[in-house]
Chains A and B, each alone.
Chain A
Amino acid sequence: MDTKAILDHQFVVAAYIVTWVILLGYLGLLLRRFRRVREEMKDLKRGE
């Protein structure tokens, strides 16, 4: 493998990693929000 191919490969890997960090990071935030909402819904039902 020449230097260009190695660098290209590293950039492809970086792009794929960044993509999954963004997607899974958002999913993590969404899950946290979901848990909070679920707790609030439980409190709501208990109140009723």
Chain B
Amino acid sequence: MKKLAIGLYATVTVALMIWGFYQAIYVAPTDAMQGEIFRIIFYHVPSASVAFLFFAISLLGSIGYLAYRHSHPEWAQVADAWALAGAEVGIVFCTVVLTTGPLWGRRAWGIWWTWDARLTTTLVLWLIYVSYLLLRRFAAGPQVQTLAAVLGIFGALDVPIVYMSNRWFRTQHPAPVFGGDSDSGFKDPLMLHAFGWNILAWFAWGILVLCFRYYVERRQQKIAANEAQEALDA
């Protein structure tokens, strides 16, 4: 039953991705100001939204780990698995943001990169979470999870700064699609529909991958716990 539900969800997700792609390329009209290059927004913005959500999950997981590591060790392990899964999958989506953005910038601005507030804070966010993964991969000892949780919390503090950067500062990055001034948002309903489908598809895909990563991490924790127990018994 569980396998059937996962298979069904995965099928719906793939169908949504295909539908989102069709909407982005063939249905949404070409932007009058930017031309064809505008279509990158249908992959760029949903990726950023998913990355932000997953860094928030990582934040909650990190807080949960720190809160329960003494009183409920098993809950703390669950929280830690969510923290790691959120950070790792979030980095993947953040990498998409940092590669599709410069491709758009090269055509729209004539440059691949500029050190404006939105781009710089996004790069810093990516670097913080890469350091989080490197810490977990290469550091050893009983304090690794605690140190990673602290770093995860500090990393998540950059998310609202990234989100607000093009509201707080004068940036070269385009104005917010939603929640900006009265001029923000899609003017054409077909563009809005295409964007909505892609947001839905990307969240569905992201959640699928996140849950898979969590599942793998929980099993790795069980193997590690078993190895530790065997070492104690020996």
Known pairs A11-B37, A22-B99, A23-B96; list 5 more (Cβ under 8 Å).
Answer: A11-B107, A12-B36, A18-B99, A37-B216, A37-B220
Contact (A11, B223) CB under 8 Å given A18-B100, A30-B216, A33-B216: no
Contact (A15, B104) CB under 8 Å given A34-B216, A37-B220: yes
Contact (A12, B39) CB under 8 Å given A7-B107, A22-B92, A26-B209: yes
A19 to B92, CA, bound (A): 10
> For chain B residues 72-108, which have a beta carbon within 8 Å of chain A?
89, 92, 95-96, 99-100, 103-104, 106-107
B103 contacts across to A, CB distance below 8 A: 11, 14-15, 18
A12 contacts across to B, CB distance below 8 A: 25, 36-37, 39-40
CB–CB B205/A11 < 8 A: no
B109 within 8 A of A: no
Give the dominant DSSP class at B's interface. helix
A38 to B219, CA, bound (A): 8
CB–CB A30/B219 < 8 A: no
A16 to B99, CA, bound (A): 10
CB–CB B209/A30 < 8 A: yes
Q: For residue B129, give the distance in angstroms from its CB to the closest CB of chain A.
A: 14
CB–CB A8/B216 < 8 A: no
A44 contacts across to B, CB distance below 8 A: 222-223, 226
B173 within 8 A of A: no
A16 contacts across to B, CB distance below 8 A: 21, 43
CB–CB A15/B213 < 8 A: no
Number of contact residues on B: which range applies? 20 to 34
B47 within 8 A of A: yes
Residues of chain A having any CB pair with chain B under 8 Å: 4-5, 7-9, 11-12, 14-16, 18-19, 22-23, 26-27, 30, 33-34, 37-38, 40-41, 44
Q: For residue A12, give the distance in angstroms from its CB to the closest CB of chain B.
A: 5
A8 contacts across to B, CB distance below 8 A: 35-37, 107
B212 within 8 A of A: yes
Q: Could you pull out 14 A-B pairs where Cβ atoms are within 8 angstroms?
A: A5-B36, A8-B37, A12-B36, A14-B103, A15-B103, A16-B21, A16-B43, A18-B99, A19-B47, A23-B96, A26-B209, A30-B212, A34-B216, A41-B222
B212 contacts across to A, CB distance below 8 A: 30, 34
A11 contacts across to B, CB distance below 8 A: 37, 40, 103-104, 106-107
